Structure 1
């Protein structure tokens, strides 16, 4: 009697070094391929279709999608930093009165304030593009802030709120509850938010009123 069938056979296509999400950089990997074979008497004889591919870490033995080889921590960090600074500029744009026209003098004022707070300088053209993006988004940042809030540290959240406060103070817009909403969207607790306001007041970094805008409970 002739015994035949099919079964999967796993082979190593390539070896190298990658940044393992569990073990970190410099981890060895094997690029594994699973191919179906026609078997005769349980022996793989004829290769058939490719069933799947995956990356296996030599150290922790965990497996990952092939896209893990494209992961570059330094590049990802730069991308996140760029997104953070763009969000910071848009927070400043969102913190001034909605009735104010975002013309060049207003943007120059924000640009100078932004640099005075110690943030990387960008030219007026970038501010104009950011203002256009902000206007096209409908003037709401809260969805993107909630997404960003989980990716930044407490210091990053404080930096965004401070920038928003500085912009609001510069345009005499501190009566707005916007800053409380901003802090809430970033995931700051009421105690964290009010503690930040007190710290800024004590340090004399911002012209705070006697009572800071309330954070929604």
Structure 2
């Protein structure tokens, strides 16, 4: 911009580049500047060279950008990769629920202590209406549905291992290390509620660790620490 001095002493912009924005989509996202869920507009723009505010020559395109409808800040489109608060809560809730089911499938539901521990973990994650009966019915349905629950290969079944990865892998990049470790430890506590780990439970928890991007050494450390901690 080239400013000039007007008769009133006010600076007048003679020329510069102005961007004209066009909205091509909208939705809801997590705004880093606002620190919460907000509406957004996905926008593209055209830059033009202006003289005294009059657009004359094209100077290329701008964007695409994501514009917050509340604070009007602009972000790269990769900001949409971050889940909204509502979506993140649902992902976390589903992750804990899936881990609990996987551990119950591996270790069984005969122990009331195991069932109670699983229900407590699932309720704490957000499924307030979870009961022992509901979890047991789901475990039995998984075992009966041979089209989805393949017993071989692996003690937790190929299909259930896939479900663990589907529930945990999208969540892992958005959780700090302590958060990922917490999900694994919750599964370990369910497995330990009726005594030491059995091989099938160990295999399931190792799968959980891999899906959460925990290295083998960290997974082993956490499982050992959980086993040493009095219930």
Distance 1:22 1:161, change over 3 A: farther
Partner residue, 1:56? 67
Partner residue, 1:88? 100
> Is 1:65 paired with 2:77?
yes
| Deviation string, structure 1 residues 96-154 (Cα, Å, up to 9, x no partner) | 3xxxxxxxxx6x537x4543212432254422343334437951438728736664443
Gaps of 5+ in 2: 1-16, 123-129
Deviation at 1:24, TM superposition (A): 1.2
Partner residue, 2:12? none
3-state SS, counterpart of residue 109 of structure 1: coil
> Is 1:21 paired with 2:32?
yes
Distance 1:80 1:189, change over 3 A: closer
Q: TM-score, normalised by structure 1?
A: 0.53
Deviation at 1:25, TM superposition (A): 1.6
Retained in 2: the 8 A contact 1:90–1:130? no
> Is 1:159 paired with 2:186?
yes
- Of 128, 134, 140, 1:128 maps to 140
Partner residue, 2:110? 109
Aligned residues, how many?
176
Give the Cα–Cα distance (whole angstroms) in 1 for the partners of residues 152 and 62 of structure 2.
Answer: 43
Query: Pairwise CA RMSD of aligned residues?
Result: 5.0
Give the Cα–Cα distance (whole angstroms) in 2 for the partners of residues 158 and 70 of structure 1.
Answer: 25
Give the Cα–Cα distance (whole angstroms) in 1 for the partners of residues 222 and 26 of structure 2.
Answer: 48
Give the Cα–Cα distance (whole angstroms) in 2 for the partners of residues 137 and 20 of structure 1.
Answer: 45
Deviation at 1:190, TM superposition (A): 4.0
Partner residue, 1:209? none
Partner residue, 2:7? none
Partner residue, 2:21? 11
Give the Cα–Cα distance (whole angstroms) in 2 for the partners of residues 27 and 71 of structure 1.
Answer: 12
Gaps of 5+ in 1: 1-6, 97-105, 206-217
Distance 1:34 1:129, change over 3 A: farther
Give the Cα–Cα distance (whole angstroms) in 2 for the partners of residues 166 and 92 of structure 1.
Answer: 11
Retained in 1: the 8 A contact 2:19–2:62? no
Partner residue, 1:195? 225
